[in-house]
């Protein structure tokens, strides 16, 4: 595919450049491109200039190879292989290296604070970038996993709005599902 340049405009009127192939990682952009409505700059009123470069970075990495990004997003397959090091086929080895690299990249990529996380998640949702959405959602989930409701409230700045009676009920539920869930 040719490397046509696409221009994206953030909510605060800054313009960013992205290859068409990379842009196709986003369903939304892909539809715009395929729909032939490409008219110079694509405005993205929901994405700020703080976040857009981050999004573009992801798209660049994942633009061409839907396959492996999907694999990473699904998470399952490569984990399998870690457990099973004696997977002896060459092909699998190469695949593993690729997946590992991608995984490492994603780890570094995902190193940011909560606010960015939300914004990125919203942007991924808006732009329909499945892999990125999965990544961000999973990260958010990891911030909830294994925590008590109190910790979650604190972490996410949420106030409990239960009535005292409901509160009691919640405590019961909470106890019932107390941690040490073996497979957390």
Partner 1 sequence: MSEFESFSEISDEGDNVNPVTSIDFLLHDDLLERILAYLPIASIFRAGCVCKRWNEIVNSRRLNVLSQKPWYFMFTSSDEPILWKWYSLELLCIEAPNWFIASSCGLVCFMDNDSRSQLFVCNPIIKDYDLGMEPIDYDVFGGLEPLDTSLPWDWDITRKVINPSEEEVVPPPPEKEEEAPPAPAGSQNNAVAHQQPPLPLPPQPQAVVLEGPPSPKPPVLVGAAIRTETAAVSAGFTTEVVAYNGGRRIVRPDWLPPFWTVLTKVRKNGKRAGQFDKYYEDPTRQYIFKSKKYVLEFLQHGKVVKKRGPKKAPKTDAAQEMPESSVQTAK
Catalog residues that contact partner 1 under the rule CB under 8 A. 11-12, 45-48, 50-51, 74, 76-77, 79-80, 83-89, 92, 113-116, 118-119, 121-122, 125, 133-134, 137-138, 140-141, 144-149, 152-162, 170-171, 173-174, 176-184
Residue 81, token pair as written in the block: 């292989």
* CB contact set of 37 (below 8 Å; sequence gap of 6+): none
What is the distance between the alpha carbons of residues 16 and 119, in angstroms, rounded to a whole number? Answer: 17
Location of structure tokens 């909470």? 174
> Closer to partner 1 at the Cβ: 41 or 152?
152
Residue placing its CB nearer to partner 1 in the complex, 108 or 180: 180
How far apart CA 156 and CA 56 sit, in angstroms, is: 27
In the complex, what is the shortest distance from the CB of residue 27 to partner 1, in angstroms, rounded to a whole number?
Answer: 15
The DSSP call for residue 163 is -
> Which tokens sit at 143?
């911030």
CA gap 36, 28 in Å, rounded: 13
Least Å distance between CB 112 and partner 1? 11
Q: Min. distance of Cβ 30 from partner 1 in angstroms? A: 21
Q: Based on CB atoms, which residue is closest to partner 1, 21 or 50? A: 50
Residue 66 DSSP label: H
Min CB(20)–partner 1 separation in Å: 25
CB of 41 to partner 1, least distance (A): 19
Nearer to partner 1, 108 or 184 (CB): 184
Q: What is the largest CA-CA distance in the chain?
A: 63
Q: For partner 1, which is the closer residue by CB, 4 or 160? A: 160
The residues, any chain, with a CB within 8 Å of residue 130's CB and separated by 6 or more, are 27, 70, 73
């Amino acid at each position: 595919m040719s490397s046509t340049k696409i221009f994206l405009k953030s909510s605060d009127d800054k313009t960013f450049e992205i290859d068409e192939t990379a842009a196709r990682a986003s369903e939304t952009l892909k539809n715009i491109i395929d729909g032939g409505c490409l008219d110079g700059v694509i405005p993205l009123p929901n994405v700020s200039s703080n976040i857009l470069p981050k999004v573009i970075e992801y798209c660049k990495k994942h633009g061409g190879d839907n396959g492996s990004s999907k694999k990473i997003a699904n998470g399952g397959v490569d984990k399998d292989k870690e457990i099973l090091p004696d997977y002896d086929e060459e092909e699998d080895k190469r695949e593993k290296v690729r997946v590992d690299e991608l995984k490492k990249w994603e780890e570094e990529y995902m190193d940011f604070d909560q606010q960015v996380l939300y914004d990125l998640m919203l942007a991924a949702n808006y732009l329909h970038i499945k892999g990125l959405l999965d990544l961000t959602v999973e990260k958010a989930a990891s911030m909830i996993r294994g925590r008590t409701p109190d910790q979650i409230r604190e972490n996410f700045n949420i106030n409990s709005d239960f009535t005292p009676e409901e509160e009691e009920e919640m405590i019961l539920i909470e106890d019932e599902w107390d941690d040490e869930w073996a497979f957390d």
